[in-house]
Amino acid sequence: MAAAAKAASTAQKLAAKLPALVTGVVSQASGTANRVAKEVTGVYRSKPVQTFIKDASVELTPPPIGQIPSILTKGFQGMGAEVSKIGGLTVKEAGIKAITVFEVSCWFLLGEIVGRRSFFGYKFPLE
């Protein structure tokens, strides 16, 4: 019987201290949250971040639908001009372009291998 009375007494003491403990934990958490919010808003309001956001909103928006045909036309004209210059390249320039194409294709294939997590083929789950 004495053990039950002692347990009840301990529970009452803990229940009396619980609101103060919860208040302390909540105030520490809110203080930490306020400090983090001040840091984040300070970084967000900094000039480099604002410049990036302004530039990104202009540069990363897709073109309007009406401009797409003219963009494609200009792109194909640029490709045609590049292809027509192939005969006038020096060996050094042609070699540099060939090495660049080789490097880009190697990086692409490496990305494919990493994405597949295998050298050969894709792994499909067996049903």
Per-residue pLDDT of the chain (127 residues; tens, 9 = 90+): 677 777 777 777 767 776 776 677 667 766 776 677 667 677 677 788 888 888 888 888 888 999 999 989 998 888 887 777 778 889 999 899 899 999 999 999 999 888 887 777 766 677 6
Residue listed under structure tokens 């004209």 = 77
- 92-110 as b/e, with b when 16 or more CB fall inside 10 Å? eeeeeeeeeeeeeeeeeee
Indicate if the alpha-carbon torsion angle 99, 104, 105, 110 is positive or negative. positive
CB burial class (10 A; 0-12, 13-18, 19+) of residue 12? exposed
Angstrom distance (rounded) from CA 62 to CA 65: 9
Token pair belonging to 8: 């009840």
pTM of the full predicted structure? 0.38
Q: What is the pLDDT of residue 22?
A: 67
Q: What is the pLDDT of residue 104?
A: 96
Contact 117, 123 (CB under 8 A): yes
